[in-house]
Chains A and B, each alone.
Chain A
Amino acid sequence: MKGRTKEQLNEQIDAIQPAVRDLLASLAPEVRPRLVHAFGSADANGKDTGKADWDNSFTDTFHNWSDKNAPDAIYASLGWNPAQRDAEGKR
């Protein structure tokens, strides 16, 4: 497969930061991205199959339910430290 390395991707992301900032600054507030690094939006617009973004609340709910049972390895594999969530109050 063709592709980039993570390092190459990071270099490119670094290089385009001025262009990203300019673009963000040019956007009207109603279309400006919510500048939080989260994989979900506040829209209800999951596609029919539900694959799209949901409010993060259900994720929070799930973790509230499952914290006591979920293997830490699952979270670790995703780069998430549960202690971080505690510190932030919310991931």
Chain B
Amino acid sequence: MQPTTVCNLNCSYCYLPDRRLIRRMSPSVSHAVASSIANVPRPVRILWHGGEPLACGVEWMRGLLQPFGPGFASGRVTFGVQTNATLIDDDWCELFNTFRFDVGVSIDGPAAHNAARRNWAGREAFPDVMRGIERLKANGIPFGVIAVVNRNNIHQPEEWYSFFCELGCSSLNVNIEEREGLNKNAAGLPDEAVASFWRRLFAVWRERPVLRVREFDRMLAWLSAGPNAEIRGPRDVWPTVSFDGDVIILAPELAGADASTRRQFVVGNVLERALGEIVADASTTAYVADFWAGVGDCREQCAYFSYCGGGHASNKFFELGSTRGTETEYCRHSYKLVVDNVIESLSGQTEPQLIGGRT
């Protein structure tokens, strides 16, 4: 759920065109979502993201959470938030503790590595991020990290990893900078640099495995299943509810496309229909059907399918012009080159591997 479109930062790689627009989710939208899931007999996790979700204000967020009260009280509804941490204060921490939020912080490494994350005046966000993290720690709130690997940090994985080991985070999630949305025309990162990054990061993590690194966690779980391990379940459809109640599935990035592009991805609005009905009927929508067809092509064509499961709709759309496509830069950087370099490293190879890279 996206409580606001606005972000107080202006990161250089951001894909969101509307991040200067101050639009907040109406309580009627969260009421509609809460009603939609009220009778779902399974746990539901709601991840608040944006924009910068905390930019909606703590009292506004409290109002958005109110309709989920019964579900939260019963333990069936849980919450997470992905934040740039610059707005975290003790009031937010009190809310996080009250509603037992799982908190994810976006930070790209030490100050020099974090240089792409700046406010609208161009000032580096790092001091404010660290101040927010200190408030989390002071209030006993565990947090994970999502870090974007970009040209500022890709060549120093050892220093980068060491920073996160000392930061006090519970997990590290590595996102290689992607070309999509407003950032779709960026120069991108060379496959060679990405391969080297994964190779060196895996080496330094093996030397000091004190953090759960999402990519290695996933990779080792997959490898431990042995040859012919296959994805067993369908991909998550990622229902995203935007500030105005519009629902987009498959990739939240599609909700951040410019207005004219975004229209084709909206499969309904929670103010008009129940979320479950919208999601259930969405499989016949053109871009969704295209995506599943493309996943089928991936399955047929790609040796790495059993690890990645068919890629992501937003990368296919922004890189290839259609959700029907197959291989993307994202596939190579975030899946194939991880596979190559972890497997080759465990095989005793010492050089970065580009087997799944671009020729």
Task: Please give the residue numbers on chain A whose beta carbons come within 8 Å of chain B beta carbons, in ascending order.
Answer: 1-6, 8-17, 19-21, 23-24, 26-28, 30-31, 33-41, 43-66, 68-71, 74-75, 77-80, 84-85, 91
Does B61 touch A at the CB level, under 8 Å? no
Can you name the residue of chain A whose Cβ is closest to the Cβ of B330?
A51
- Cβ of B212 < 8 Å from any Cβ of A? yes
Residue from A10, A28, A41, A66 in contact with B283 in the complex, judged by beta carbons closer than 8 Å: A66
Contacts of A57 in B (CB 8 A): 42-45
Cα separation A20 to B220 with both chains bound (whole Å): 7
Q: Which listed residue (B221, B306, B312) contacts A51, Cβ 8 A?
A: B312
Q: A60-B42, A62-B239 are in contact. Are A13 and B226 (CB under 8 A)?
A: yes
**Complex alpha-carbon distance, A19 and B226, angstroms:** 12
Residues of A within 8 A of B295 (CB): 77-78
* Among A3, A50, A60, contact of B238 (Cβ-Cβ < 8 Å): A50
A-B contact count (CB 8 A): 252
User: B40 an interface residue at 8 Å Cβ cutoff?
Assistant: yes
Bound-state Cα–Cα, A13 to B219, Å: 11
A16-B346, A78-B299 are known contacts. Are A46 and B104 too (CB-CB below 8 A)?
yes
**8 Å CB contact of B222 from A37, A58, A74:** A37
Interchain CB contact under 8 A, B314 and A39: no
8 more contacts with CB within 8 A, not counting A1-B359, A37-B225, A69-B281, are A2-B357, A45-B144, A47-B175, A49-B49, A51-B312, A61-B43, A64-B41, A79-B230
* Closest chain B residue, CB of each to CB of A70: B283
A69 touching B283 by the CB < 8 A rule?
Answer: yes
Listed by A's residue number, 18 A-B pairs whose Cβ atoms lie within 8 Å are A2-B354, A8-B303, A10-B227, A28-B209, A35-B221, A43-B171, A45-B82, A50-B49, A50-B240, A51-B175, A57-B43, A57-B45, A58-B44, A59-B237, A66-B280, A66-B283, A71-B283, A91-B232
List chain A residues, Cβ under 8 A from B357: 2
Quote the shortest CB–CB distance from B176 to chain A (angstroms): 11
For chain B, the count of residues having a C-beta within 8 Å of the partner chain is: 92
Distance between Cα atoms of A11 and B347 in the complex (Å): 12
The reply to whether A52 and B175 contact each other, CB–CB distance below 8 Å, is yes
Chain B residues with Cβ below 8 Å from A50 are: 47, 49, 82, 238, 240, 251-253
Determine whether B93 belongs to the interface, using a CB cutoff of 8 Å to chain A: no
Distance of A5 Cα from B301 Cα, bound (Å): 9
User: Which of B175, B280, B356 has the most chain A CB atoms inside 10 A of its CB?
Assistant: B280
Most interface-central of B146, B304, B356, B358 (chain A CB within 10 A): B146
Say whether, besides A54-B47, A78-B299, A31 and B226 are in contact (CB < 8 Å).
no
Q: A3-B303, A54-B236, A57-B42 are in contact. Are A43 and B222 (CB under 8 A)?
A: no
Q: Does A23 lie within 8 Å of B303, measured CB to CB?
A: no
Interface residue B290 (Cβ < 8 Å from any Cβ of A): no
Which residue of the partner chain, among A35, A40, A44, contacts B103 with CB atoms under 8 Å?
A44
With beta carbons under 8 angstroms apart, the residue of A4, A17, A19 that contacts B303 is A4
Does B81 touch A at the CB level, under 8 Å?
Answer: yes
